[in-house]
């Protein structure tokens, strides 16, 4: 469990740097350049993902609570919604007129959704930890960036593209879930 916890913490801390230590980030970029900074950032992300994945696999699942009977159904719906939120920043959509940080909101919802279906300790660390990170990151970014100027309205067809892209992404991950993560969300 230690590796998993370290991975979630490393992921969080590295992502907090641009939000809480913008001057530090700028000074590092001034010294080594933007591309090397991005490379170092990416290496830390790879290390965090390695720790998360290997920590997850090496942790024996111990039940901490019994998820509700309806949890798996709620998880399926909430994860679908989280996919729409997660990919929204990459498209011009009206969703961004209602949520300042749709991708982080999607991570939060994804994590909470998984806690409705998984009650073991490693799930609490991974999904709960990333949900907490997403909320803190939203708060830090809002403080850093100040007032929010909502984007202009876009044609409804842009929202339809988001829904189709989100649905396709969701279905690909849902059907590959067993191959990728070892168990089927539909079982």
pLDDT tens string 2-17 = 999 999 999 999 999 9
Is 22's pLDDT higher than 90? no
pLDDT of residue 117: 95
- Token readout for 40 is 């170092």
- Stretch among 77-81, 90-94, 132-136 having the lowest mean pLDDT: 90-94
pLDDT of residue 157: 95
Pairwise CA distance, residues 2 & 54, whole Å: 10
Q: Per-residue confidence at 187, pLDDT binned at 50, 70, 90?
A: confident
Nearest to 162 by CA among 152, 154, 172, 173: 154
Residue length of the chain: 187
* Inter-residue contact 104 to 85 (CB < 8 Å): no
* Inter-residue contact 89 to 154 (CB < 8 Å): no
Q: Per-residue confidence at 68, pLDDT binned at 50, 70, 90?
A: very high
Q: Per-residue confidence at 52, pLDDT binned at 50, 70, 90?
A: very high
Select the more confidently predicted residue: 25 or 131: 131
Given its phi and psi angles, is residue 62 left (phi above 0), alpha (psi -120 to 50 degrees) or beta?
A: beta
Region 78-97 average pLDDT: 94
- Residues 100-152 pLDDT 10s: 999 999 999 999 999 999 999 999 999 999 999 999 999 999 999 999 999 99
Is 186's pLDDT higher than 80? no
pLDDT of residue 185: 82
Q: Which pTM was predicted?
A: 0.91
* Inter-residue contact 88 to 102 (CB < 8 Å): yes
């Amino acid at each position: 469990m230690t590796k998993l916890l370290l991975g979630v913490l490393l992921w969080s801390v590295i992502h907090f740097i641009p939000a809480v230590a913008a001057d530090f980030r700028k000074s590092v970029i001034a010294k080594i350049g933007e591309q090397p900074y991005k490379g170092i950032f990416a290496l830390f992300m790879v290390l965090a993902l390695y720790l998360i994945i290997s920590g997850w696999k090496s942790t024996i699942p111990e039940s901490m609570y019994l998820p509700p009977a309806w949890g798996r159904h709620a998880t399926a719906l909430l994860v679908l919604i989280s996919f729409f939120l997660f990919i929204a920043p990459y498209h011009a959509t009206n969703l961004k007129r209602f949520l300042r940080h749709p991708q982080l909101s999607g991570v939060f919802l994804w994590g909470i959704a998984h806690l409705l279906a998984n009650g073991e300790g490693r799930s609490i660390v991974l999904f709960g930890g990333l949900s907490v990170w997403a909320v803190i990151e939203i708060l830090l970014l809002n403080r850093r960036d100040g007032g929010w100027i909502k984007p202009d309205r876009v044609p409804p067809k842009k929202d339809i593209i988001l829904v189709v892209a989100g649905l396709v992404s969701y279905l690909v991950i849902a059907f590959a879930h067993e191959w990728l993560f070892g168990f089927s969300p539909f079982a």
